[in-house]
Structure 1
Amino acid sequence: MSKRHSIVPPISQAGPKPPVQFSSSITIADSAVLTGSNPIVIHSESVVHPRARLESLGGRITIGRRCVVHERSTVGAVGTEGRVTENGVTLGDYVTVEVAASIEAGDTVIGDGTTVGVGAKVGRGAVVGKHCTLTPHTVVAAGEVIPDFTVIYSNGMRRMDKRGVVELKNKGQARQIEVLRRMIPSNPSKFQ
């Protein structure tokens, strides 16, 4: 076999297997990694990509309806403080967590319709409002509160999103989920 076609071993679970509560309509890749001791709840029609990490050591993870958690992203990362809270991370409905983004646990809330961009980081206890956009490599500080409809750029600049495209974005997210459900082999029973 040539070097270009080498076989990649599957990603294994590291740490305890968390209690889970899944809607019957979710799509979760076999190679997603779920660890921790607190519950992980995923609501209807949400998609968890291969190699996405959901870590519930810092508290409960709740993922709302029609969310998409992309590969190499981490939801529930335990920061340097390492404290456990009742609600580690809560994602509202229609949230997108893009590739390599990280959301720390600690009563952290991401509001409905928000996009956490590629490589962005949301610190412990931050509250990001509804329909916000965190552009690639944006950092939201621990404990920071971001108002609804805020766009944050990686250089720290901010503006309000006044386009009024919430319904269009939600329809686009629903269409993307339909496609992803056909593309990603799902195996929720592996995690239960």
Structure 2
Amino acid sequence: MSSGAGSVRRQASAAPGPKPPCSIHPSAIISDKAVIVGTHPVSIGENVVLHPFAKIVSNTGAVRIGKNCVVEDRATVGLSDSPGAFAGTTVELEESVSVESGSIVQAEKIGTGSTVEANSTLGPGVIVGKFCKITASSSIQSENLPDFTIVYGGNARRIDTTAKNRPDVRDLKLKGQVMHIETLKRLVPSNTMKWLS
């Protein structure tokens, strides 16, 4: 009898949260082990890749993920359950944004071509410009970063003048993201129907 009760308890704790209304582009790759929970709308664009154990949370605001974005394993995009004054705010990743393993992105917007490296935290209301790089383990809680900002070592800041002054470098970054996604499409099994049914 006790083993049956334990079994029920394990199942209850593993039960998923509510499934939000999802709009998912047919070319997106959503791992069967990715997690999408919440009550507000989630929009996932063309060629987006959600790795296994990537988590999208729309409990207190909508989430929009633009085309060619990648959300890696154990990364979370969306507002937490208690965002205070930011309740109802949309979390948006513009085009070609990479959110690496273990990062938490609650920011209002991450600009096109930006990278959030592993284990970084971007708090509610943060706005990150285009072609920015947030290096590993950074924490930004309330700030707007201009385009081409690099955050590094102890949250120091500098402007990436090469990316700023050379459109060819920006184009190469965007093309590199597309090539990366083409590789991921061969490696990450997709189950988008799980979220649309």
Q: TM-score, length-normalised on structure 1? A: 0.88
Deviation at 1:162, TM superposition (A): 1.4
Q: Is the 8 A contact 2:83 2:124 kept in 1?
A: no
- Cα distance in 1 for residues equivalent to 2:78 and 2:25: 20
Moved over 4 A (4+): none
**Counterpart amino acid of 2:49?**
V
1:3-152 to 2 correspondence within 5 Å? 14-78=16-80, 80-82=82-84, 84-87=87-90, 89-104=91-106, 108-142=108-142, 144-152=143-151
Gaps of 5+ in 2: 1-13, 164-168
Deviation at 1:141, TM superposition (A): 1.4
- Cα distance in 1 for residues equivalent to 2:20 and 2:148: 33
Aligned length: 178
1:57-102 CA distance string (max 9 Å, x none): 1200000010000000000141643452141x10000000000000
Q: Is the 8 A contact 2:61 2:89 kept in 1?
A: yes
- Cα distance in 1 for residues equivalent to 2:149 and 2:15: 36
**Counterpart amino acid of 1:125?**
G
Q: Secondary structure at the match of 1:185?
A: coil
Show the counterpart of 1:9: none
**Counterpart amino acid of 2:154?**
N
**Do residues 172 (structure 1) and 176 (structure 2) align?**
yes
Which has the larger helix fraction?
2
Gaps of 5+ in 1: 1-11
1:122-159 CA distance string (max 9 Å, x none): 010000000000000111113x1000000001402111
Deviation at 1:13, TM superposition (A): 5.5
Q: Secondary structure at the match of 1:158?
A: strand
RMSD: 1.6
Deviation at 1:14, TM superposition (A): 2.7
Q: Is the 8 A contact 1:58 1:78 kept in 2?
A: yes
**Counterpart amino acid of 2:75?**
S
Show the counterpart of 1:160: 159
**Counterpart amino acid of 1:187?**
N
